[in-house]
Amino acid sequence: MPNVVKIHLIAAARPNFMKVAPLYHALAEQSWCELKLVHTGQHYDANMSDSFFRDLQLPDPDFHLGVGGGTHAEQTAGVMVEYERVCLENRPDWVVVVGDVNSTLACTLAASKLAIKIVHLEAGLRSFDNSMPEEINRIVTDSLADLLWTPSPDGDENLLKSGVAPGKIDRIGNIMIDSFELVRPKIERANVPEILGVKDKRYAVVTLHRPSNVDRAPTLQKIVDEMIAIAASGLALVFPLHPRTRKSIEQLGVLEQLSKSDGIYLLEPLSYVEFMSIVLGCRLVITDSGGIQEETTYLGIPCLTLRENTERPITISEGTNLLIGPDELGTKIDEIMQKEFEPGRIEFWDGKTAQRAVESLYNHACLRTA
Ligand code: UD1
């Protein structure tokens, strides 16, 4: 066993900061490891990155790769080149990658070619839809990882079916719940709905950024038309715009129409605390995000997901999630508002996932290699 286990924890893009933060705090307290935080720079705006670091009490990263946007190949290759350089100068024993973004794949590839051990947090999720770049990132990351941390039993099953040895899989639960519980008091105090002037449970939160929804003009136009109709019928819509979505809406020429529609609140991307504050007060969520399907399940808030599939089926079978097409928005809102949901009680979605992750890594890094 090495004296001290050197660990790199990779942060990259908005959905990953919520997965990294609880683990960062838990690992930083351990005497058996030396922890370095690496930010690839995939997301770089103040409101897509910095505000999350602040809300989640993350320190400045030890290494910032500053890679930024680009095509998939450019972004992935950029992170690989920069992260390999970091590893050659400051070689870790283990690298922790989280989620399914391009940086997750890139760091996995760079590290595995240097024979550095990899642990994947949020392993085993599958949409079985290879047209999603995230699915490709998940498959490759899971096939190279030495230790796979799953959030739910479907993750274990997917990994076992794809031939991963059972000894490499540890079900530790959903770390996003740890982040929520870590910051819950601030979220409850933030009162963002009141500041916006929307009434409790009388509005829906909308988030969209998937290419399948926002990059094709006819689909985006359909969603915009449905949104205007929903707001006109009395359910206000609070819609923080992802940079990709803002660009698409501008290109479609409907930004002004949307921003002038009664009952539609177009916002810049929100910080984590602000966003969870509007989610806590809303009647339902309309989204194409992955993580929000889980957060709404945990909170018992109805969620309409504008996608044909989900890598998080447990949010449908045991949670509040319903998959819908763009032309079903109006009808499915009525259907889901009839239902009452209990806050989810999925095993290990309990705010203690980071603790289980630390135990698992200690076992694999310190005990098994002794
Ligand atoms: C990425 C992830 C996706 C995740 C999403 C959350 C991949 C394959 N996709 O998609 O899984 O759900 O993040 O946001 O990794 N941009 C800015 N400022 C920023 C970040 C991005 O203006 O801080 C712009 C980029 O330049 C680009 C667009 O937004 O034009 C998309 O960003 P990118 O990170 O490439 O992909 P996302 O669609 O955000």
Q: Are 194 and 203 in contact, with CB atoms under 8 Å apart?
A: no
Distance CA 192, CA 201 (A): 13
CA distance 154 to 47: 33
Q: What is the pLDDT of residue 370?
A: 44
Active site residue 209: yes
Q: Order across the sheet with 203-207: list the strands.
A: 264-267, 236-240, 203-207, 284-287, 303-305, 321-323
Name every residue whose Cβ is closer than 8 Å to that of residue 3 and which is 6 or more positions away in sequence. none
Question: What SS3 state is found at 187?
Answer: helix
Q: How far is the CA of 244 from the centre of ligand 1 (A)?
A: 7
Nearest residue CA, atom 18 of ligand 1? 45
The rounded Å distance from CA 101 to ligand 1 centre is 9
pLDDT score recorded for residue 345: 83
pLDDT at 369: 54
Is the CB of 14 within 6 Å of ligand 1? yes
What does the pLDDT read at residue 2?
Answer: 58
Ligand 1, residues 16, 17, 39, 42: which to mutate, most atoms within 8 A of Cβ? 42
Q: Is residue 246 lining ligand 1, measured as CB closer than 6 Å?
A: no
Q: Is the CB of 48 under 6 A from ligand 1?
A: yes
The alpha carbon of 164 and the centre of ligand 1 are apart by a number of angstroms equal to: 30
Q: For ligand 1, atom 17, which residue shows the shortest CA distance?
A: 243
Q: Could you tell me if 204 and 286 are in contact, meaning their C-beta atoms sit under 8 angstroms apart?
A: yes
| CA quadruple 65, 67, 68, 72: dihedral sign | negative
Q: How far is the CA of 144 from the centre of ligand 1 (A)?
A: 24
- Which pLDDT score is estimated for 1? 55
DSSP string, 320-353: SEEE--GGGHHHHHHHHHT---PPP--TT-SS-H
Query: Residue 43: CB within 6 Å of ligand 1?
Result: yes
Our answer on whether the CB atom of 13 is closer than 6 Å to any ligand 1 atom is: yes
Res 338: pLDDT: 86
Q: Which residues of the chain have pLDDT under 70?
A: 1-2, 369-370
Tens digits of residue pLDDT in 117-130: 999 999 999 999 99
- SS3 at position 166: helix
101 touches ligand 1 (CB under 6 Å): yes
Selected catalytic residue, list 39, 120, 209, 242: 209
Number of the ligand 1 atom closest to the C-alpha atom of 44:
23
| Separation in Å, CA 85 to CA 65, 80, 110, 191, 216 | 10, 9, 9, 44, 38
Q: What is the pLDDT of residue 3?
A: 82
Query: Ligand 1 centroid to 331 CA: how many Å?
Result: 30
Instruction: Return d(Cα 71, Cα 331) in angstroms, integer.
Output: 36
